Homo-oligomer: A and B are copies of this chain.
Amino acid sequence: MPVVDLPDLQNVFVQSRPFTAGSYIYRAGAAADAYYFVRSGVVKTCQTNSRGDELVTGFHYPSELVGCSQMDGVYADSGVVLETATVCALPDNHQGELYKLSLNNAFLHLLAERETQTSLHQRNLSQTRADARLAGWLVQTGRRLQKLGWCQQRIPTPMSRTDLANYLGMTIESLSRVTGRFEAAGWINATRAHLEVLNPSAVAAAGAHMLL
């Protein structure tokens, strides 16, 4: 599993011990005292509303930031580890650490890329067909993995089907049916741990709305 570092900025980040699957990096509602840079592993961000419905807001790979969603000084979502992760904490101590980052702009660029990812997910969610949303997710996730130097045809799915369905705005039954249809068409090979794209052009066509 590759490890990614933020160039020139490791020294202002605080390296943490590895987090094991299922553990929380930070919790919604707690005082927001740090941003976290994911170096390895996969992290999901999620929030629960007052009715108790969970919403999965994102899956985060190495080189990405989590803990950026804050309201009135408290985290608006939780960061949960899906696959053993190492992260760097950037303490938001209002005393100059952030300044060093901002100065060199790498931090702001990470935030800006995060925004872009989010708006792409918005675009995906605004698709009405479940097939289009799964295909769009495969396309977009493949691109993210490729940027990390991984295989873009082999999408790891450390998250549960429930989490993925929630993230894609559909029920688990619908997700199961869509993956079933894609498998029957020979487009993908779905296992618990991976979604392997066998016919990239067919998937790309079905997720064409994600090509900016």
Contact = CB atoms under 8 A, between A and B. Distances in A.
A210 B121 contact: no
Nearest to A170: B128
Interface string A75-90: 0110000000000000
B211 A49 contact: yes
A12 B81 CA distance: 39
B98 A55 contact: no
Interface string A117-134: 011011101101000000
Contact of A119 (B76, B105, B112, B212): B76
Given A47-B212, A102-B99, A209-B49, A169 B126 contact: yes
A51 B119 contact: no
B99 A69 contact: no
Contacts of A113: 70-71
Interface of A: 32, 47, 49-51, 53, 55, 57, 68-71, 76-77, 92, 94, 96, 98-99, 101-103, 105, 108-109, 111-116, 118-119, 121-123, 125-126, 128, 166, 169, 208-212
